[in-house]
Amino acid sequence: MKLDLMKRNLKKELNGWWIISLVGAVVILLPILFIFSTIFQEPNENWIHIRQYLLSNYVANTLLLVGLTGTFTAFLGVSLAWLIAAYDFPLRKFFRHGLLLPLAIPTFIAAYTYRTMLGYTGIIQSTLRNEYNYQINPELLSISGIRGAVFIFTMFLFPYVYMITRAFLESQSTSYIENARLLGQKPSAIFFKIVLPLARPAIVGGTVLVIFEVLGDYGVTSLLGIHTIATAIFQTWFGMYDVNSAMRLAAWLMVIIMGVFFLEKLLRQRKRYHLNNKSRPLVPVKLKGMKGIGAFIYCGAIFLISFLIPFIQLITWAKMTFTKVWESSFFTLIYQTVFLAVIATLIILIFSLVAANVCRSHSTFSFAVSKVITSGYSIPGPIIAIGVLALFISLDQWLAPIYKSMGLGEAPLILSLSLVMLVAGYFIRFMATGFNAIEVGYEKIGMKYTEASRMLGLSVTKTFFKVELPLIKGALMSGFVLTFVEICKELPLALLLRPFNFETLATKTYQYAHDEQIYEASISSLLIIGISILSVVIIQVLGKRVK
């Protein structure tokens, strides 16, 4: 009798969780399906032109860019994560957090900053010219082309890999690494034989985020003159005025990405990654002498290039243009940016928790669901924006009778002129950052606590709040920071989906940067960076207090 009741309860609650994730998945799916629907349309002459002149070249560029950036970010991210998780050296504690800071700088701002800094009027060339009367060949310092783009993407996106991998190593690999150390394995053997295979889901998760970001990017690549698939998408839309062909291209891009996912999934199919030891922090080994200094120099150099130098440069520019650009309305911008980002992040995290919990069953179906709800990250922002816009305008038209009965006028636009549309856009675009972080958290704890709790009679929901939530708190926090920072930086959705008179710091930055006025853009860029840093600090402090 009791057992029957339990079964029924179980069914009921499972359905509740399922329904929430399904509804969320539908919200995400609709605009994406809308984009996909273009795949089946008859190809027109623009599409034929694209295929004839552009596609092979653009695909080659994209693959090269993604391949190189992926390799370098994985290398940087994993090596830094390993150094900081397993060893102790001067300023390690500082670097542990400091190496996350590059994420706070939007990549297109980083590209503009480095480009201007290394350019003809930049500090290096102008100092050489004015002080030493030496004109260096500008090509030597040029960061244009693939070379420059790989540099910018690697330097400002590696923290994704670093963050996720470090968190994993610090808490999950302890017993394996300590045993290996006890058994006298060399550090290199530990790294290659234990760390790399163990941390694979974390490394892949982080690198995938980087690759998504690179695939959807238009700002950096167009500035540095590289034509990728995203360029083709925009050229088709903005130059040939052909939205449908643009969406078609985006849809194909998504198909390819999903293919890669399934491949990766196949490759690691039967391997189980949750480890069965108690999560005990890894005790770092002190690096002595030259080794310690070497580690310090490595971390220091990367911190310098990926954060400190551009940061200081932005500050000097901000000083230069402060009187011209600063106005009290910046406070409103700060408020609006933070407000919007907090709301959207919370919604994303709540839904990620539910969906990730549901998707733990590891069935092919749940895998598909999880990939679908995170696929928004891989589509160029403006394309998502069009999908969301189409959805909301249809929704408004469809709800028109209700609006009318509420006395809001004939066929008004209510939802599509409110912030709801923009929040929904963020929801679709940034599920990946929240969901991936939480998914890693769930993978880390595995099923055993959940199973034990359920065996002892707690319901799914109670198990979630009493057992799982405290265990994945860390993942939740990194998910919050990642998503929050992403939304603060986000541009294309904010541009197209915002209501009247709504500005964020990112749109303000764009206003100037778009017009090649990087000096004027520095103040709002710095504010984005400041807010992001603050969010990291607050989360850290909160994290400590909760402990």
Region 397-416 residues binding other proteins, contact defined as CB under 8 A:
397-399, 408-409, 411-413, 415-416
Residue whose CB is less far from other proteins, 102 or 425: 425
**Interface positions, 255-314, toward other proteins (CB under 8 A):** none
Q: Between residues 37 and 185, which has the closer beta carbon with respect to other proteins?
A: 37
Read off the amino acid at residue 235.
Q
Min CB(307)–other proteins separation in Å: 23
Residue 451 structure tokens:
């199973």
Residue 423 sits in the site that holds other proteins (CB under 8 A): yes
**Closest separation in Å from C-beta 293 to other proteins:** 37
- Helix spans in 359-399 (H): 364-374, 381-398
Residue ranges in 475-514 that form contacts with other proteins under rule CB under 8 A: 495-496, 498-503, 507, 510-512, 514
- Going from the C-alpha of 270 to that of each of 172, 264, 267, the distances in angstroms are 20, 12, 8
Q: Which is nearer to other proteins, 171 or 517 (CB)?
A: 517
151 binds other proteins (CB under 8 A): no
The two structure tokens encoding residue 413: 């636009």
Q: Among residues 24 and 77, whose Cβ is nearest to other proteins?
A: 24
Looking at the Cβ atoms of 82 and 427, the one nearer to other proteins is 427
Angle (nearest 5°) at CA 482 between 58 and 165 = 85
Alpha-carbon distance of 380 to 391, in angstroms, equals 17
Verify binding: residue 340, other proteins, rule CB under 8 A: yes
Q: What is the 3-state secondary structure of 3-38?
A: HHHHHHHHHHHHHHHHHHHHHHHHHHHHHHHHHHHH
- 231 makes contact with other proteins (CB under 8 A): yes
Instruction: Pick the stretch among 157-165, 270-278, 307-315, 391-399 that binds other proteins (CB under 8 A).
Output: 391-399
- Return the number of the residue (332 or 361) whose C-beta is nearest other proteins: 332
**Which parts of 341-360 interact with other proteins (CB under 8 A)?**
343, 347
12-41 positions binding other proteins, by CB under 8 A: 23-24, 26-27, 29-30, 33-34, 37
CB of 112 to other proteins, least distance (A): 10
The minimum distance between CB 379 and other proteins, in angstroms, equals 15
State the minimum distance, in angstroms, from the CB of residue 467 to other proteins: 27
Q: Is the dihedral of CA 316, 321, 325, 327 positive or negative?
A: positive
Q: State how far the alpha carbon of 326 is from the alpha carbons of 104, 187, 323, 469, 521, in Å.
A: 21, 52, 6, 43, 11
- Cα–Cα distance for residue pair 545/547, rounded to 1 Å: 5
How far apart CA 383 and CA 31 sit, in angstroms, is: 10
Q: Identify which range of 140-148, 189-197, 478-486, 526-534 contacts other proteins by CB under 8 A.
A: 140-148
- Rule CB under 8 A: which of 209-228 touch other proteins? 222-225, 227
As measured in angstroms, the least distance from the Cβ of 530 to other proteins is: 21
Query: Is residue 21 exposed (0-12), middle (13-18) or buried (19+ Cβ within 10 Å)?
Result: buried
Kindly determine how many residues on this chain lie close enough to bind other proteins according to the rule CB under 8 A.
94
Which span (201-209, 229-237, 446-454, 527-535) binds other proteins, by CB under 8 A? 229-237
Residues 108-127 that bind other proteins (CB under 8 A): 115, 119-121, 125-126
Figure out which of the listed residues 239, 259, 294, 470 binds other proteins, where binding follows CB under 8 A: 239
Footprint on residues 37-96 left by other proteins (CB under 8 A): 37, 46, 49, 53-54
* CA-closest candidate to residue 65, choices 174, 188, 211: 211
Report if residue 171 touches other proteins, rule: CB under 8 A: no
Element (H, E) at 253: helix 243-267
Between residues 451 and 515, which has the closer beta carbon with respect to other proteins? 515
Based on its alpha-carbon atoms, the radius of gyration of the chain, rounded to whole angstroms, reads: 24
Q: Which is nearer to other proteins, 124 or 538 (CB)?
A: 124
Q: Which of these, 403, 406, 428, 431, lies nearest to 417 by C-alpha position?
A: 403
CA separation for the pair 334, 331 (Å, rounded): 5
**DSSP per-residue letters across 291-358:** HHHHHHHHHHHHHIIIIIHHHHHHHHHHHHHHHHH--THHHHHHHHHHHHHHHHHHHHHHHHHHHHHH
